[in-house]
Amino acid sequence: MGTVALSSGNLTASDRQILRTVNAGASSLSFLGSSFIVLCYLLFRDLRKFSFKLVFYLAISDMLCSFFSIVGDPSTGFFCYAQGYSTHFFCIASFLWTTTIAFTLHRTVVRHKTDVEDMEAMFHLYVWGTSLVMTVIRSMGNDHRHLGGAWCSSQTGRTKKAYHFITFYVPLWGAILYNGFTYFQVIRMLNNATRMAEGMSDRASDGRPDMKALNRWGYYPLILIGSWTFGTLNVIHDLIEPGHKIFWLSVLHVGTAALMGLFNSIAYGLNSSVRRAISERLDLFCPERLQRWLLANSAKSRSTGQESELVSLKVQDVH
């Protein structure tokens, strides 16, 4: 994918073919997962709330990032530029949208503010503007060319690799640290509120299912960590030892990075509200046995507490 920016190094033609295949397969899964979330948002009016709108923007970024990654190995200079810069732009936008979701939760739950919907224009300026600036900075002095690999890449000099590291991996890990700190504060505040409620109630277990679901928010930063840890290690290794690629690390780099869209669509998009909306629309088309199975699973998810559902967060329930 475009953000991988791997040079050919000491990789053989067979190695590069394997990387092309891994990249295309993983990116296709991410494209399908992200497209599914976008389609759900467009089809189901019940999902068109502000918090899920942020998930919709995240899915669009993932979908376009995956699409330009699937483009793969363009043979002309123009498509080389388009593929490399477009993938860089939309992948940055993807992890920046996760910070707006974390910010929204923090401002709503921790700071008890209700003005997040008024900040949508500022979110767009922040995400698209930052993505554009990082992409433009990366392009300075770059001479993109076709390297015969799985994607277009910039020149192999250390300066160009440093540009790529600064304009992608530095903001990426900044986003990871911000999301982790933010979700830690949200979960800690909700845990404290639940303990206070239990202390004033005879039914001490009432809040536990909700907290079990809310604690899943703590796994969201792990999506970016899992998607980009191997990539970060690979890029750092490439800066230290240019021209000497570690094949297995390159495979993990390409595979996990290209799956980011799929991970996001599962974690952020496939909540109980989405499944409930789908099951309701399928009532007229599904066999009765399948309907009973869907309803049983929907009821089970409701009985164990609302999942980490950004669609209908009710802050007053924990006060």
**pLDDT one digit per residue (tens) for the chain, 319 residues:** 545 544 556 678 888 889 889 999 999 999 999 999 999 889 888 888 888 899 999 999 999 999 988 875 555 566 677 788 889 999 999 999 999 999 998 998 888 888 889 999 999 999 999 999 999 998 875 654 443 334 455 445 677 788 889 999 999 999 999 999 998 888 888 777 777 766 665 554 444 545 555 556 667 788 999 999 999 999 999 888 877 888 999 999 999 999 999 999 888 877 777 777 777 766 656 556 555 665 566 555 555 444 444 444 444 444 4
Backbone φ and ψ of 147, nearest 5° = -110, 0
The SS3 call for residue 159 is: helix
pLDDT in the model for residue 75: 54
Q: What tokens appear for 89 in the block?
A: 């732009």
The length of the chain in residues reads 319
Q: How far out from the chain centre does Cα 259 lie?
A: 9
* Helix axes of 77-105 and 170-199: crossing angle, nearest 10 degrees: 20
Predicted confidence at residue 112, as pLDDT, reads 86
Angle between helices 120-139 and 77-105 (to 10 degrees): 140
CA-based nearest residue to 14, from 250, 301, 243: 250
Q: Which residues of 169-199 are buried (b: 16+ CB within 10 A; e: fewer)?
A: bebbbebbebbbebbebbbebbeebbeebbe
Q: Which residues contact 4 (CB under 8 A, 6 or more apart)?
A: 23, 150, 151, 153, 231, 253, 254, 257
What pLDDT, on a 0 to 100 scale, did the predictor assign at position 9? Answer: 60
Give the integer Cα–Cα distance in Å for 7 and 4: 9
**Residue 269 burial (C-beta neighbours within 10 Å; 0-12, 13-18, 19+):** buried
List the one residue out of 50, 57, 54, 87 whose CA is nearest residue 70. Answer: 87
Beta-carbon contacts of 165 under 8 Å, excluding residues fewer than 6 positions away, are: 235, 236, 239
Per-residue confidence (pLDDT) for residue 256, from 0 to 100: 95
Give the single-character DSSP code of 157. Answer: S
Q: What is the DSSP letter of 117?
A: G
Q: Give yes or no for a contact between 126 and 96, defined as CB atoms under 8 angstroms apart.
A: yes
**pLDDT at 51 (0 to 100):** 80
pLDDT for position 244: 82
Q: What is the DSSP string of 205-258?
A: TTTHHHHHHHGGGGGHHHHHHHHHHHHHHHHHHHHHSTT---HHHHHHHHHHHH
Using the Cα atoms of residue 152, residue 154, residue 156 and residue 161 in order, give the sign of their dihedral. negative
Helices (H), 72-119: 77-105
Query: DSSP for 272-305?
Result: HHHHHHHHHHTTTTS-HHHHHHHHHHHHHHHHT-
Full-model pTM: 0.80
The pLDDT score that the predictor gives to residue 82 is 74
> Can you give the pLDDT at residue 80?
72
Distance CA(277)–CA(42), nearest Å, equals: 12
